Amino acid sequence: MEKPSVAVPFDENLRTVAPEPVRRHGREFLLNGHRRGSGQQTAVPARGRVRALVIEPVETPARPDRLNDEFDVVLRLPVPAEVEQLTAVLRRLRPKLLLLKNSLDSIDEPIVAACQQLDVEILVLARPVYGLLPTPSLRRFGGLPWIRLRSGPHRRTGERVKRYLDLGVIALSAILVLPLILAITVVVSCTGPPFYRQQRVGAGGRLFSMVKFRTMRPGAERETGPVLAQPDDPRITRVGRLLRRSRLDELPQLWNVVRGDMSLVGPRPERPEFIAECRQLPHYDLRHLVRPGLTGLAQLTGGYAATVEEKLRCDLLYLNCRSLRVDLTLLALTALELIRGFPRG
């Protein structure tokens, strides 16, 4: 029989509203797992269960779960407005897990840092797009799929390994890629300059000059100014449409990867003209914590038709679960999409 969920609100001072006590083995406990005492509450974990704190949406009904059957759920609450509030709750209740049922963009780096400092592991409720991740990244608790967020000192070592992977893949593929780049250069040169340089925003918010094959007619933005590309953009040439469909127009960006401006896998670099508007979305600047990439979750799941919000969700997910295994998986999926012709556009 499924146990009822216990949602415990908290006031502005983060003092939990005391629930009704229950009797267990002749001792009096509160429903959230704390023993009634004369002074400060003392945490009493359920035998054999990991203590967990659940954060769930307030404005929309949360997905039903059976987390109480598997964990000692000490508290359910909405996302705190300030990280100090959450820190106070974590210090008092001492959970081992924080289960986030909101979308990933509802938390930011200070919350992740607070959990890391207090040795609290974060699990986020998985969304359909997370299915692109390797199966071991997904776990199932309480009848729902979850993904574990990663953070910590290993990231610096991981970035070095990622850099070696980028250069190694480029070196091994050079014998096939260089003749292809030369052939495309000759074809595109028939209608004008073969390459097109554009300012993009990279890691740390730094600008760099991204190079790609020209897919639009020369001077396409002379009258309109910077405009986001559309799936059936009339400015695209006939050859350019084929290059975009197959993503071969991105090949010259391998030079940006060699220079260190980009990586093979990461968030898609955006133009500085659009950054100011995009920054209105919560946590958008977190994308700039890593090098942008030729391919990634957003590029594989949405294509040119994806909205800025959809791309941001994918980018935030990648930021929090990136690893060598994830990068290799996304590179393999990109190779498969190259063969299929990127059916999502």
In order of their start, the domains of the chain are: 21-148 (3.40.50), 154-340 (no CATH)
Helix segments in 1-95, DSSP class H:
67-70, 83-93
What's the pLDDT score for residue 263? 95
Question: Minimal CA–CA distance to 132: which of 345, 340, 341, 337?
Answer: 337
What's the pLDDT score for residue 231? 59
What's the pLDDT score for residue 237? 81
Q: Which residue has the tokens 């920054």?
A: 279
What's the pLDDT score for residue 68? 87
| pTM for the structure as a whole | 0.59
Structural contact between residues 314 and 285, judged by C-beta atoms closer than 8 angstroms: no
Largest CA distance in the chain: 88
Mean pLDDT in consecutive groups of 10 residues from the start of the chain, 345 residues: 43 38 34 38 55 82 79 87 84 90 70 81 74 61 79 61 92 93 91 88 88 80 60 74 85 94 92 82 77 89 76 82 86 85 58
DSSP 8-class letter at 64: P
3-state secondary structure of 13: coil
What's the pLDDT score for residue 301? 81
Residue type, 335: A
